[in-house]
Amino acid sequence: KGKHFNLTEAGELLYRNATKMINLIEETTDMMDDFKQSKRGTLRVGASHAPIYSILPSTFKNYMHEHPNIDINLMVDTAPVIIDQVKNRKIDIAVIAEKGFNESELQVKRLHDNPLVLAMDKRHPLAQHNQCTIEDINNYRFIIHNGGSTRDSINEWRKKNFINLDVHMETNSISSILATIKDSNYLSLVSENAIRHHSNIISKQLPNAPTTSYISLVYRNDRHLTTIIQDFITLIYNTK
């Protein structure tokens, strides 16, 4: 009791491979249950923050209506975390914002563009501007995301335009960002899809914007696409 052990290199390798085997067994068991129970079971979905505020709510609503006997287990985190979960077979399929990544064991299906935009309250002093310049933007303080593909786009834009933003708060919660800039003079940089259903928040195109990201479906190349997963993919494409 109270003692700690460090695995040898061989032990680490055995542990990693054993974990993969256990996850594969669980995945196979879920597939067999899907076939035996006539479309009863659980769909494990991973998502980064942008699709949670755009296409996923409608997709989930329609999916649950059409498949009342299937439960949805949703995990929301940054895109890198979700990608790892897909690779390790912890989730069946993911919908994430991404700008391109090299993972040979994963299949990526891009759904639509997801550009970085300047977000503000609809009564913000810049709201009436047709276009916002870098000089305009530098007059205000920012609330920004601290991780994931959104932060990658922010960093790319800052570097590309030699901008040192006046950042007052950083968070991994899009909800917190949008709630904080509402009824204030704060600005934020968020993906366009993240503000789709927020009537009090408007967006402006960024000057000299960074490379566009995408909302994409991600799953393992060797993942058997059961009827449960295929129906979800079909609804995603119909929703977009």
- For 206-226, write each residue's pLDDT tens digit: 999 999 999 999 999 998 898
Per the listing, tokens 């913000």 go with 124
What are 124-141's pLDDT values in tens digits?
A: 999 999 999 999 999 999
- The contacts of residue 147 (CB under 8 Å, 6+ apart) are 78, 80, 172
Residues constituting the chain = 240
Q: How confident is the model over 90-114, as a mean pLDDT?
A: 93
Residue 61 banded pLDDT, cuts 50, 70, 90: very high
- The contacts of residue 235 (CB under 8 Å, 6+ apart) are 59, 62, 63, 66
Residue 149: how many CB atoms within 10 A of its CB? 25
Beta partners for residue 218, in sequence order:
94, 108
> Which amino acid would we find at residue 100?
G
Q: How confident is the model over 113-130, as a mean pLDDT?
A: 96
Per the structure block, which two tokens stand in for 8?
Answer: 């040898």
β-strand pairing of 141-145 with 166-171: parallel
Q: Which of 7-11, 34-38, 82-86, 153-157 is predicted least confidently?
A: 34-38
Contact between 95 and 239 under an 8 Å Cβ cutoff? The reply is no
End-to-end CA distance of the chain: 54
- The contacts of residue 21 (CB under 8 Å, 6+ apart) are none
Enter the pTM of the model: 0.75
Q: Does the pLDDT of residue 20 top 50, yes or no?
A: yes
Per the structure block, which two tokens stand in for 146?
Answer: 């601290």
Beta partners for residue 114, in sequence order:
213
* Phi-psi domain of 164 (left: phi exceeds 0; alpha: psi -120 through 50; beta: other): beta
How many angstroms from the chain centroid is the CA of residue 174?
A: 11
Question: How far is the C-alpha of 23 from the C-alpha of 132, rounded, in Å?
Answer: 49
